[in-house]
């Protein structure tokens, strides 16, 4: 436990500094907001990734049991950051996602599991998101975000980009892509009466972009700092093992 004291302290400190629950519509699509057909569609699309994540998680627990604490830290990081709701415009809000850290450490698959767990607890305990929209929220934040983060990190590292810079861009772009997918989901469900899907998509992207771009930058910085501390306590050899 002592080896992880510093990273855990940073996450807890961040939570106490920024965490707040406000009665506003969150970026997580709220309960009952999506038409039933779209809610079911996104749930079905998410299931294969969730199953893949369960298999990957079981493999790590069986073959690398010493990584359980680090996986718990990655899950706590997602919960705390994604629960920070910053008011945006038109009654919505933006927030970090936190999925980049776990995706970089363990690959994107297990983040589908951790993400669903986080979203479920937030829906039940914080009224943040919803049960009927769990599939849609999970696909954007727990599937697309982690895969983008992992892909960006892998590409940049292969090009010998500084590891801190790689983590920053991986986390920031994973965050932004989550919001892009959410905007696509809303645009498909609620096309503009005149301009159709494209006009609706532009509207939702514009709503989120004002606050989400700076939030993504901050998330990239915070993730890079936490990652650096984990590297300091866990060592490069173990991290390389996680990424294989």
Position 187 in a domain: yes
Give the integer Cα–Cα distance in Å for 173 and 217.
9
Structure-token pair, residue 156: 């940049």
Residue 88 has pLDDT above 70, yes or no: no
Position 18 in a domain: no
Task: Provide the pLDDT confidence category of residue 82 given band limits of 50, 70 and 90.
Answer: confident
Mapped onto helix, strand or coil, the DSSP state of residue 208 is helix
Residue 229 maps to which CATH number?
Answer: 1.10.1760.20
Sign of CA dihedral 202, 111, 126, 189: positive
Position 188 in a domain: yes
Position 23 in a domain: no
Q: pLDDT per residue over 113-160, tens digit each?
A: 999 999 988 888 877 778 888 999 999 999 999 999 999 999 999 999
Structure-token pair, residue 237: 């050899």
Identify the domain containing residue 127 by its residue range: 28-234
Give the integer Cα–Cα distance in Å for 87 and 38.
26
Position 192 in a domain: yes
Sign of CA dihedral 112, 117, 123, 126: negative
Give the integer Cα–Cα distance in Å for 102 and 100.
6
- What is the number of domains present in the chain? 1
pTM of the complete model beyond 0.95? no
Task: Provide the pLDDT confidence category of residue 1 given band limits of 50, 70 and 90.
Answer: very low
Position 134 in a domain: yes
* H or E segment to which residue 7 belongs: helix 5-18
Q: pLDDT per residue over 209-228, tens digit each?
A: 888 889 999 999 999 999 99
Closest CA relative to residue 105, chosen from 72, 143, 141, 63: 72
Position 168 in a domain: yes
Buried b (16+ CB within 10 A) or exposed e, 58-77: eebeeeeeebeebbebbbbb
Give me the chain's average pLDDT, please: 82
Position 19 in a domain: no
Q: What is the pLDDT of residue 83?
A: 78
Q: What is the pLDDT of residue 87?
A: 59
Residue 6 has pLDDT above 70, yes or no: no
């Amino acid at each position: 436990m002592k080896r992880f004291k510093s990273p855990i302290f940073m996450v807890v400190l961040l939570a106490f500094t920024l965490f707040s629950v406000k009665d506003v519509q969150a970026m997580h699509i709220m309960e009952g907001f999506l038409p039933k057909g779209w809610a079911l569609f996104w749930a079905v699309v998410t299931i294969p990734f969730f199953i893949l994540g369960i298999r990957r998680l079981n493999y790590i627990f069986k073959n690398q049991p010493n990584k359980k604490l680090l996986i718990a830290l990655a899950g706590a990081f997602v919960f705390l950051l994604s629960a920070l709701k910053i008011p945006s415009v038109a009654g919505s809000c933006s927030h970090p996602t936190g999925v980049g850290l776990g995706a970089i450490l363990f690959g994107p698959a297990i983040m589908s599991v951790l993400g669903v767990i986080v979203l479920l607890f937030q829906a039940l305990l914080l009224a943040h998101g919803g049960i009927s929209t769990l599939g849609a929220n999970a696909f954007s934040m727990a599937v697309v975000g982690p895969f983008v983060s992992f892909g960006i990190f892998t590409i940049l590292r292969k090009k010998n980009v500084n590891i801190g810079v790689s983590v920053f861009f991986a986390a920031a772009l994973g965050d932004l892509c989550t919001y892009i997918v959410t905007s696509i989901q809303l645009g498909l469900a609620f096309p503009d009466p005149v301009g159709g899907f494209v006009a609706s998509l532009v509207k939702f992207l514009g709503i989120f972009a004002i606050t989400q771009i700076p939030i993504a930058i901050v998330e990239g910085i915070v993730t890079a700092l936490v990652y650096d501390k984990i590297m300091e306590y866990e060592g490069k050899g173990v991290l390389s093992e996680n990424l294989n």
